Structure 1
Amino acid sequence: MKALEEAFQDAKRRFVYQPLARSAKLDRYRTVPFDIVVKTFSDHRMAFDPNDFMGRTLMDQGHWQRDDLDWVVERLGSGPRGRVFLDVGAHVGTQSVYALIGGAFDRAIAIEPMTDNIETIRLNALLNDLPITVVPSAAGAEAGRLPFNPDPQNSGGGSLHHSLRGQRGADIEVEVERVDTILDRLAVEPAEIGLVWIDVEGFERQVLAGMPALLEARVPLFIEVLDHLYSPDDFAALKRLLGNYRCAVTRDGSTELQTVRHFSGDILFL
């Protein structure tokens, strides 16, 4: 049995990993100026920085919020819906990869402003042979450029929120586009989007303000709402933007949106 396992591992090295390492498509990533590893999980490969918060979680738990995505897909059911997964604040593309390898969606659009993360999303798409369209910008209410504050301990924790600017070191300027403009450019209709996944560290209201066509179509939204960054006026504006949605659903059940005074955490809006 041991000899069989050794032969199997040798075959993997010879016919999978060595050809992959020699791939011309991957050659340009050999000089990428940041530290990443490529780890093989049960049904996919993932490139990531093992030293930051998300990377350590991936190494420890074997996934990054994949259980949340599985729960959302189960909650959406098998009825007719769009087959495009829209990943806003995509980080290194974990959710886009999970959405596609699970078969719930046919393609993904990943919106991400950080250069290192953008390159890692492209690498993850290549490693898993997945149709992920990468949009190298942030999403917001208006097109332009805004200061973005990276988190040195968490490559997915950077934010455009005004209260965090300059808090964790020097800001950088990033391009900002409206989601509706991005979809128009890609010739993607709201009806083609099956789920919008938003993780933008306090910039949720501005992202939603830039996607009125999707809100009007009531495309399902899964949003990490960081309520501690919201003023009462900001929170009221967020609720108005979500006014067409029936409910806010969490793992604990569902709450009619009209009766919610405040909500926080990871929430599915239908």
Structure 2
Amino acid sequence: MQPSKKAFRRHRQRLRDLLAQRFFDTRYGRELLISGIGARVLTMTVDCGDHILSFSPADYIGKKIYRKGNFERDHVDRLLAILKEKRLLVENSTLLELGGNIGTQTIYFALTKAFSRIVSVEPDPRNFGLLRTNINQNKLDDRVTLVNCAAGESEGEIEFFQHRDNHGKSSALRQNVADCKIVVPVKPVRTILAQAGIALDEVGLIWMDIEGYEPLACRSMELLLARKVPLYMEFSTCFYGVEQSAAFVQYLAKYYEDGLIFREDDIASVRVRDIPLDEKQFDLLLYDSSI
């Protein structure tokens, strides 16, 4: 081949690669690329600006991170703004995170430096491996303690169901026949905190996202609820059923009077005893307005 033809081919390849890079860096291009990655690619790592994240490209959360650069980071920012406004943020306190998943919210909280320590609890071994990787590669291991277990009333083991397509939907409650059943360790929250060297009065916020297991987890941390530690969680009538939801509301009302309901485009105040039972799912902040 003549030199001019070789040079033309190289130029054409460079132009093709440049155009492909620009296209796959658009929102649509990223969506197309992440959707087309085959099963042989187990994990990916991306630069998200002020941190990096490793994830499974087959997972719902991983796909969203790749497309948007974050996974619901605005939820963390919104909550912290409300806690500051209501003067509920305690300096040098600890965040207890139940349902750390792969560490997205863990990292977002850590980057704000709103808490001096974070204890992140995650039972799913698939998620926990990525959680540990993400905390280590962002050099946050000096402030974040990772615990690979579920939170429950007593120490032992429980059945746990891994969601195939959305690792964030894995739960101690089976949701689909295709879920993979495994056994994971379970510990009461008081034991988790004691083993992490955290006193109860050091906990300044509980962040809980555990797919329907919230009533059992709450019973394992009644001492924290009695201290009226702000509690942010997903309230899921679709998991509990109306009867259990009503019982859960009565249980929570023994410890908290005030709450905020977070819907897609709305934040509404609510008395805890009046938490609605006719909605499928919403995020909920419980707190003590008298503090």
| TM-score, normalised with respect to structure 2 | 0.76
Do residues 228 (structure 1) and 235 (structure 2) align? no
Q: Report the CA distance between 1:45 and its aligned residue.
A: 1.0
Aligned to 1:28: none
Q: Report the CA distance between 1:233 and its aligned residue.
A: 3.5
**Does the 8 Å contact 1:85/1:96 carry over to 2?**
no
Tell me the SS of whatever aligns to 1:215. helix
Q: How does 1:165-184 map to 2 (within 5 A)?
A: 167-184=177-194
Rounded Cα–Cα distance in structure 2 between residues aligned with 1:231 and 1:116: 29
Count of residue correspondences: 236
Q: How does 1:14-163 map to 2 (within 5 A)?
A: 35-77=42-84, 79=87, 81=90, 83-130=93-140, 131-161=143-173, 163=174
Aligned to 1:13: none
Change (3 A) 1:144 1:40: same
Write out per-residue CA displacement over residues 65-101 of structure 1, whole angstroms, 9 at most, x where no aligned residue: 1111111101111745152111101111111110011
Tell me the SS of whatever aligns to 2:71. coil
Gaps of at least 5 residues in structure 1 are 1-32
**Does the 8 Å contact 1:34/1:116 carry over to 2?**
no
Which protein has the larger Cα radius of gyration, Structure 1 or Structure 2?
2
**Identity across the alignment (%):** 28
Q: Report the CA distance between 1:141 and its aligned residue.
A: 2.2
Do residues 249 (structure 1) and 264 (structure 2) align? no
Runs of 4 or more off by more than 6 Å in structure 1?
A: none
Q: Report the CA distance between 1:246 and its aligned residue.
A: 2.4
Gaps of at least 5 residues in structure 2 are 1-39
Q: CA RMSD in A?
A: 1.9
Q: Report the CA distance between 1:35 and its aligned residue.
A: 1.5
**Does the 8 Å contact 1:149/1:168 carry over to 2?**
no
Q: How does 1:193-232 map to 2 (within 5 A)?
A: 193-232=203-242
| TM-score, normalised with respect to structure 1 | 0.81
